[in-house]
């Protein structure tokens, strides 16, 4: 099973950490992608905000390219282990859903 998690509000970042970490322990989950966008984009430049997720091997952490541009965040500003989405965050989420990934919005 593969899961994509959308975190779009700054105050939901801790919940994104909890959900991502809890889902990662499930045996049938092979990959989890967490997409940070809108107000939650700040987490992608602050290691302390996403530290629990950085430690999980099953997780892919993505920063919405559009939110990065709107907040003057460069790829070089991202915490090690976070990658920009190829296009916008919503496009990434839709793409994953089309591929059959389960979707969670925190």
pLDDT band at 86 (very low <50, low <70, confident <90, very high): very high
pLDDT band at 73 (very low <50, low <70, confident <90, very high): very high
Residue in the structure block whose two tokens are 């090690």: 80
Domains in the chain, please, with CATH? Answer: 2-105 (3.40.1260.10)
Both tokens of 94, joined, read 């839709």
Mean pLDDT of the chain: 96
pLDDT for 16-61, tens place per residue?
Answer: 999 999 999 999 999 999 999 999 999 999 999 999 999 999 999 9
CB 15 within 8 A of CB 98: no
Q: If you average pLDDT over residues 66-94, what whole number do you get? A: 97
Residues in the chain: 106
CB 61 within 8 A of CB 40: no
Task: Give pLDDT, residue 48.
Answer: 96
Task: Give pLDDT, residue 76.
Answer: 98
Task: Give pLDDT, residue 93.
Answer: 97
């Amino acid at each position: 099973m593969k899961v994509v998690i959308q975190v779009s509000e700054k105050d939901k970042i801790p919940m994104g950490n909890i959900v991502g970490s809890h889902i990662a322990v499930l045996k049938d989950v092979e990959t989890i992608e967490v997409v940070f966008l809108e107000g939650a984009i700040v987490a992608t430049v602050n290691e302390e905000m996403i530290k629990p997720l950085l430690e999980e091997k099953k997780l892919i952490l993505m920063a919405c390219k559009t939110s990065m541009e709107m907040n003057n965040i460069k790829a070089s500003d991202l915490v090690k282990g976070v990658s920009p989405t190829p296009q916008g965050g919503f496009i990434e989420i839709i793409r994953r859903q089309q591929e059959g990934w389960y979707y969670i919005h925190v």
